[in-house]
Structure 1
Amino acid sequence: PASLQARWADAADDAKSLGGRAWVILGAGPRGPVCADLVADGPHLLIEGPSGSGRTELLRSAVASLAAAERPDRLGIVLLDGRDGVAAGNGHGEGLRVCTDVPHVTTHLTANDPVRMREFAQSLSAELKRRAELLGLADFSEWHTRREVSGRIVAQRTGPGRSGAADPAAADPEGADLDAPPSSTLRLRPAAARARGEATPPPLPRLVVVVDDLDALVSPALGSPGRPSAGSVIRALEAVAREGGRLGVHLVAATTPGGRTAQTEPARRAALRVALDAPASGHGGASLLERGRELGGEPAPGRGRLTGADGRVTPFQGGRVTGRIPRTATQRPTVVPLEWQRMGDPPTRRSVRELGNGPTDLALLASALERAAREVSAAEVPSLL
């Protein structure tokens, strides 16, 4: 938690990311971590790859890195599983549900309930309209810049008969007239005075909509429960692709290459694109970390290339945030009294339950994020559902 708080404090002091950071760490590249900055290089990211290439795991890594880079009251995350076959449980079938323990996640939707899907589309469209009315003609960063300046600057007031004094309140604290007209002099208002002063506009956090299996929403299968409402969700996501950059709403979507998805607004307007390689035969079910060690070998899950808006291509190997800690890592030393009569006996085998698999890296991060959010008293971002 202390390390996360230090990161969040650094983000708050970063003048280049007013309104909140949106950093997506994709994996390890030739020169270190490969990062996609949705604010500076985005605003949207599209991940393309065939089945088994590690799309869902890369989205989970994106959620983890987004949460580690910014406070939950400055960055909200919305999760959408495009396939209606996502089931609870362990393994690959859980989709983005495993990320719901991250405190930044405000909404999770699976495309199997037409009523909730339609409600989600309406809420997302309403949120875009609310932000457009609040920002006016300014963009997201400009609005936060004005809000920061207006919160620090206040007109100086003068007392009766002391219009020429540099600081009338200091010269005569009891004679300062609150009803006197303000002068044209501006001074910085301390943080404590701001807290006691007039109410400031409510904070407007960045919002990142993470969509898995976008192609399943664009072309839903016949008989799919969410098919009647898929069109309304796609229209809301297309509005995010068109207007989200100015409103502080970003889209991170994963899809299979080709098909009708390539003609949609999210695909056309994605300035950042990731192409994942098809895994070689024989890699099915293997750990992404194990395959990631084969940097010079055949394509492995999570192996891909990031293409920026300037056309620069950076190869990377994605990691695995939902792999469980090996059983040997959870063993703790046990001290028991040893009797002389049993000195030659073999050691007692420890129970399987005690040696069971440990938590995932994502679960450990979510716990640390929750504690860090409580320490900084982060306000909760309202859900879209």
Structure 2
Amino acid sequence: MPVAIAAPRPVEKPAPFRLPIVASLAPVVVAVVLWMVTGSPFTLLFALLGPVTALAGVADARLGARRTRRREAARFAEEERAALDAIDLAHAEERDVLAERAPTGAAIVAGAAPRTPSTLVTLGTGSVGSSLSVDPVLAERAAVLRHAPLLVDARLGIGVCAPPVLAAAMARALVVQLAHALPAGTHGITGGEPWVASLPHARAGGGARVEVRDADGVVASVATAAAESELPAGCGVVILATPTGAAVVRHPDRGMRGAVRPGVVGLEAAASWAAGLPRPAAAAVETAALGSLPGGAVGTGPHGPVVLDLVRDGPHALVAGTTGSGKSELLVSWVLAMTAAEPPERLTVLLVDFKGGSAFAPLAGLPHTVGIITDLDEAHAARALASLRAELRHRERVIADAAARSVDDVPSLARLVIVVDEFAALLADHPDLHALFSDIAARGRSLGVHLVLCTQRPAGVVRDSVLANAHLRVCLRVNNRADSVALVGTDAAAAIPARATGRGVLAPPDGEPYEVQFALAGDADVERVTRRWRGSPPPRRPWCEPLPADVDPQDAPGGFALVDLPHEQRRAVAVWSPESDGHVLVLGAARSGTSTALAALAPGGTRVPRGIAAAWDVIGAAASGGPGVLVVDDADSLLARFPPDYRQVVVERLVALLRDGPERGIHVALSAKRLTAELTPIAALAPERLLLRHAGKQDWVLAGADAASFAAGLPPGAGVWRGDRVQVVRARPPVGEADPLVADLEPGRRLAVVTTRPAEVLALLAGAVRLGDEAPGAVVVGHVDEWQSRWGALAALGDAQVVLDACTPADVRALTRTRELPPPLAGLRGVAWRLEPGGRLSRVRFDPGRGA
């Protein structure tokens, strides 16, 4: 982005002076008026004040203008100096940027130049256009960047025309730059002076013209001649040097043509620099079996077997390659090479496969393998990855307890290598793991945790915090040069043929990249490693096993479930204490284990029967009962079975129990399939919730859970308690249920029957008489309407038993003139209501056909 520099504000001119005519004439007028009034000639002396005032104003204006001009001149000079300094500083930064893009040959042979893979070279120094944006006042000074590196692209072909000695020195500087920037493993250099043959890039052939080649042909060239006409074809840039100066005389961009001070390198300096460069040899091309390589080797390179040592060269590694390039095969071979060299007590491996789970299947039986995480089991994957944070904390504690500085000082702590295939897919499913892998990358060396991350394209996937610590890099075949250059500093991986599976470019942390043919592993290699370490103690796993679907009560002493705590690498026992935790609500779909959960939560609680009549009695009795736990299973279904009037009363009674019960030691444990409208006020008073399997995510969220914690297909008894995954212990719900309260008629006590079927009752009851035909001791039978029409009939019966047969609750309310509902009779045969003298309603057995 162009840098904007503000120009100094122009000098402001003083405001022009105006003669104060009114102020000068005012004293004259006043003097004349006073003379005319007083007649005294002395008053005319006031007239002199006018000219005096005018002269004083002129003098003051001139003095003020002089001061303004001096102040403005000083300000302008200061702002001009600041602007010029800013321009010089910006120009210096521009020169530094250009110098970093293409270091000169002299800087390279002196050993003070960074390496940037590029074909840009510096011809010398000269004047180039600047990117500064300034006011037109300073445009001439800022527009030209003087004594700046003059960069050209050597792919245009560079021709040098000068006397032989000078031309050779100038060409030498350009060749040094190209050899420094382009890796020897993928680029060759032909022709030129004899010292060029000592470069690691040197290839046979060529003439006076120096050519740089890659797999596709010539990418850059440098030629020398005494005159421009003698240069070979293909020189798009020509620099002409004479004893009096040098200039670029040919360039596709006319703005680049002009004077230049060329860079030169001496013959002795170039030869010494070339001799000191590392010697990468040609790529290995033969595929080898892993078993044929010496221990620890994972492939063959130009110098023989190649060992990838994470401790020495890591601590972490990146592997890239397109589909079919052999990434998974490389990872398998690498793991087998590592585990063949180290026992499980010193090295463990965690394998993460997010492309189906089959890549690491052969390694599952290795004694070093502590687990395989795949994308096929999302819940298990999330659980295992959460345990990695706890593993870092565990290792910190172990190292701190041993008063050690790193894992190297703690022999009992094995190194953990985390191998991830398809790292991009893992982060796509679990984006929150970016922070975890950045943490491992930063602290892994001291904690003994190493990452081997494999993906098709690291760019945009692997964050800088991980890249900065991944010193060991391997690039298998990729589809474009940019991906290869970004990972290993050379585009050689883009030139690997598709048939060369397992071939890649290795970029060690302290050397030139070179090609490696990685070995292929087979079943025999897996068996060899397994057999070698057979009998070794099993390594410590970074997490506990998943909770079993069936938990014995003895495995959770004092609790109702086992709790999975992967972030702490342990299990715990879930405990519900009614006195301290309050009421509990269990929510879950059909066959999710709600009844079993209630049996485990409150094994000694009072269970509410499923029948309406018995449930009414138990709930009503609980309101006046003593301390204990009331267990209401399938509460939503139970409430739905009650008629509307009764349902409202049951809800009110349960709300009262949950609200006021704890003061008397009464607590409630409920279960339901879902939160219905009737159950909502009850659920609001239950502070604890056990969420078992739900039919869908929407019901899960409505139950008050986090959508991210939803898991379909949980086994019965599996759910979430206080945010953690639990598995309820095996418990058998009680089989029997309480019967509804039904009394018998009291023999010998007078009986009156209120019914909607008087004729039928009169025919079945011996000695019964109709209402109005009373006889001493006889059973009085009347229609409910008749009883209501005789206001004093019931009162006249005294302590007689009044049975309400085949009546509705509305009939009972109208007859008793009360809003209290009689106990429900649903599901009961041969049962009626009995009205006691005090107005209380109860159930009584009444079957006229049997003489009751």
Shorter-normalised TM range: 0.5 to 0.7
Question: Counterpart in 1 of 2:537?
Answer: 379
Question: Counterpart in 2 of 1:54?
Answer: 326
User: Using the alignment, how far apart are the partners of 2:361 and 2:378 within structure 1?
Assistant: 18
Q: Structure 1, residues 120-145: CA drift from partner, whole Å, max 9, x if none? A: 1221111111111221374435423x
User: Using the alignment, how far apart are the partners of 2:537 and 2:388 within structure 1?
Assistant: 20
Shift of 1:297: 8.3
Cα 1:303/1:246, change in 2 over 3 Å? same
User: Using the alignment, how far apart are the partners of 1:305 and 1:213 within structure 2?
Assistant: 19
Report the residue type matching 1:371 in the other structure: R
Q: Does 1:319 align with 2:519?
A: yes
Question: Counterpart in 2 of 1:262?
Answer: 462
The structure 1 residue matched to 2:417, chosen from 208, 220, 237, is 208
Q: Does 1:32 align with 2:304?
A: yes
Identical counterparts, % of pairs: 32
Report the residue type matching 2:406 in the other structure: F
User: Using the alignment, how far apart are the partners of 1:44 and 1:276 within structure 2?
Assistant: 17
Question: Counterpart in 2 of 1:96?
Answer: 360
User: Using the alignment, how far apart are the partners of 2:399 and 2:316 within structure 1?
Assistant: 20
Equivalent positions of 1:288-367 (< 5 A) are: 298=497, 300-321=500-521, 361=522, 363-367=523-527
Shift of 1:380: 0.9
Q: Does 1:69 align with 2:347?
A: no
Indicate conservation of the 8 Å contact 1:64/1:365, yes or no: yes
**CA RMSD, 1 decimal:** 2.7
Shift of 1:62: 0.7
User: Using the alignment, how far apart are the partners of 1:313 and 1:49 within structure 2?
Assistant: 16
Largest Rg, 1 or 2: 2
Question: Counterpart in 1 of 2:370?
Answer: 106
User: Using the alignment, how far apart are the partners of 2:320 and 2:497 within structure 1?
Assistant: 19
Indicate conservation of the 8 Å contact 1:274/1:304, yes or no: yes
Indicate conservation of the 8 Å contact 1:118/1:232, yes or no: no
Question: Counterpart in 2 of 1:167?
Answer: none
Shift of 1:266: 3.1
Question: Counterpart in 2 of 1:122?
Answer: 386
Question: Counterpart in 2 of 1:143?
Answer: 409
Q: Structure 1, residues 62-95: CA drift from partner, whole Å, max 9, x if none? A: 1110111111121100000123xx16xxxxxx21
Q: Structure 1, residues 170-194: CA drift from partner, whole Å, max 9, x if none? A: xxxxxxxxxxxxxxxxxxxxxxxxx
Q: Does 1:134 align with 2:408?
A: no
Report the residue type matching 2:417 in the other structure: V
Equivalent positions of 1:239-254 (< 5 A) are: 239-254=439-454
Cα 1:72/1:109, change in 2 over 3 Å? same
Report the residue type matching 1:40 in the other structure: R
Indicate conservation of the 8 Å contact 1:261/1:267, yes or no: no
Cα 1:297/1:236, change in 2 over 3 Å? closer
Report the residue type matching 1:65 in the other structure: A
Cα 1:55/1:251, change in 2 over 3 Å? same
Q: Structure 1, residues 195-242: CA drift from partner, whole Å, max 9, x if none? A: xxxxxxxx2111110100001123x2xxxxxx3xx1244433332211
Cα 1:30/1:318, change in 2 over 3 Å? same
Report the residue type matching 1:271 in the other structure: H
Shift of 1:259: 4.0
The structure 2 residue matched to 1:81, chosen from 353, 364, 388, is 353
Provide the secondary structure at the position in 1 that maps to 2:322: coil
* Structure having greater relative contact order (Cα 8 Å, sep ≥ 6): 1
User: Using the alignment, how far apart are the partners of 1:140 and 1:379 within structure 2?
Assistant: 24
Equivalent pairs, count: 234
The structure 2 residue matched to 1:368, chosen from 528, 537, 541, is 528
Report the residue type matching 1:72 in the other structure: P
User: Using the alignment, how far apart are the partners of 2:375 and 2:461 within structure 1?
Assistant: 17
User: Using the alignment, how far apart are the partners of 1:234 and 1:210 within structure 2?
Assistant: 16
Provide the secondary structure at the position in 1 that maps to 2:416: strand
The structure 1 residue matched to 2:477, chosen from 277, 280, 290, is 277
Report the residue type matching 1:318 in the other structure: F
Question: Counterpart in 2 of 1:193?
Answer: none
Indicate conservation of the 8 Å contact 1:217/1:234, yes or no: no
Q: TM-score, normalised by structure 2?
A: 0.26
Report the residue type matching 2:361 in the other structure: R
Provide the secondary structure at the position in 1 that maps to 2:413: coil
Provide the secondary structure at the position in 1 that maps to 2:452: strand
Q: Structure 1, residues 227-284: CA drift from partner, whole Å, max 9, x if none? A: 3xx124443333221111111111111111244213253333201000112489xxxx
User: Using the alignment, how far apart are the partners of 1:98 and 1:263 within structure 2?
Assistant: 30
Shift of 1:104: 1.0
Provide the secondary structure at the position in 2 that maps to 1:102: coil
Report the residue type matching 1:381 in the other structure: P
Equivalent positions of 1:139-218 (< 5 A) are: 139-144=405-410, 203-218=412-427
Report the residue type matching 1:380 in the other structure: P
Report the residue type matching 1:30 in the other structure: P
Q: Structure 1, residues 319-378: CA drift from partner, whole Å, max 9, x if none? A: 221xxxxxxxxxxxxxxxxxxxxxxxxxxxxxxxxxxxxxxx2x223323333223xx42
Q: Structure 1, residues 43-64: CA drift from partner, whole Å, max 9, x if none? A: 1111011111111110011111
Report the residue type matching 2:373 in the other structure: L
User: Using the alignment, how far apart are the partners of 1:71 and 1:311 within structure 2?
Assistant: 30
User: Using the alignment, how far apart are the partners of 1:97 and 1:234 within structure 2?
Assistant: 26
Provide the secondary structure at the position in 2 that maps to 1:254: strand
